[in-house]
Amino acid sequence: HPHNTYTKLTLLPELQWPKTGNRQYSPPIHKPKENKAEEPISSTETRSMANSRCAVVTGANRGLGFAICRQLAASGVVVVLTARDENRGIQAVDDLKSNHGVSPDNIVYHQLDVTDSSSIASLADFIKTQFGKLDILVQIGDRVATYGDLLLFFFPPCREKINWDEAIINTYDSAVKGLKTNYYAAKEMTQTFLPLLQLSDSPRIVNITSSTGSLQNVKNEWARGVLGDAEHLSEERVEQVLNRFLKDFKDGLLDNKKHRWTAAYSPCYVLSKASLSAYTRIIAKRYPSFCVNCVCPGYVKTQGTFNLGNYTPEEAAGAAVRLALLPDGGPSGRYFSMMEEASF
C-alpha cells in the first residue's frame, strides 16, 4: 500500500534517537549463556527484569517487527518478541542473539495470536509474572483483507493499466477478518495491557498504521466526520462506523455513490486503519500520563510488499522506536508519517 514519502525530522530535535539504516548498533556485549526462548525464566532473572523497561512487540518474527525488537533491545529495553507461530518466533529470537548482537538478557519470545483472547490473556499473565508491569506496547497488526494479485498494485508499471475490479477481490468475510486483526485485536490488546501499563513510570503505546488509512481516503462523509471529530470520539462511535460499513458491504452498497466509502483498492484496510488512528486518540485522551501515538513507517521492503518498498525494515523501524522511547511529556494522541507529525 502507498505511504507518505520520507521527510526530514522536525519534531523533538533535542532527542538523540537511535540511528538506523546500514549502520549497526554497538550494544554492550554480554557473555553468552544458554537461555532458550521457550525455557522458564529464573527468579533471579525475573528480579532483574522487574528493574528494566519491558516492551511487547506484536507480529515481530520478521520484517518491521523484527527490526523494532532489535533496536529496542539495543537501547537496553527487555523485549518480548511475539509471533503466532512458535517455531518462527523462537527462530527470530535465536537470530537476534546469534547474528544481530542482541544480549540474551534483552530478548525473549512468547506466543501470541492477537485474534485469540486466550492467547492475549496468556501473554498478559506472563508479563505480570515475569516483569510486574509493561512499559511499551508496539502493535503491528496489518491484514490487507483483499484477494487477488497484489503484486500488480505494488509494482508501479502495472498500476495505471490494471482493471482493479478484476484484479482485486474484496469479500465480506475478508473484511470481517481484516477489521478483527487491524482494529478489534489492537483494541483488545490495549484494554488487556492497560492495567500493566499503568504500573509503569513511562507507559508508551505505538500503533503502526498506514497513510492509506488517512481520513482523506474515507469518502463517506458521515464516517469521515465521526472518525475526525477528536472532541467527541469514543469506541462506541468508531464501532458504529465499522458496523455501518459492514452492513453496506453485505448489502452491496460500497460502490453506490450515496454510500461510497473509500478511495482505495481495499476499503476494509482504509477503514480499519482510520479506526485504529481514532482509537489511538481516544486512549491518549483517556490516559494523559501515557504517550500513545500511531505512525506510518513508510513503504517498507517486507514480504508483504514483495520487497518493493522504499525503506528497509531497519530504516522504517526507527520511527516506531522513537515514539516508544519518548521522554516524559512527549507528544501523545498524534499521527506521525515516518519521522514527522502529520494530520490524521
Q: Is the Cβ–Cβ distance between 76 and 53 less than 8 Å?
A: yes
Q: Is the Cβ–Cβ distance between 303 and 62 less than 8 Å?
A: yes
CA–CA distance from 132 to each of 18, 137, 158, 312 (Å)?
27, 14, 51, 34
In terms of DSSP H, where are the helices of 60-116? 63-74, 86-99
Q: What is the number of other CB atoms lying within 10 angstroms of the CB of residue 123?
A: 23
How far is the C-alpha of 281 from the C-alpha of 266, rounded, in Å? 23
From 183, 184, 265, 269, active-site residue: 269
Q: Is the Cβ–Cβ distance between 320 and 298 less than 8 Å?
A: no
183 assigned to active site = no
E strand or H helix at 152: helix 151-154
Retrieve residue 207's grid coordinates: 500503533
* Catalytic residue positions, numbered: 269
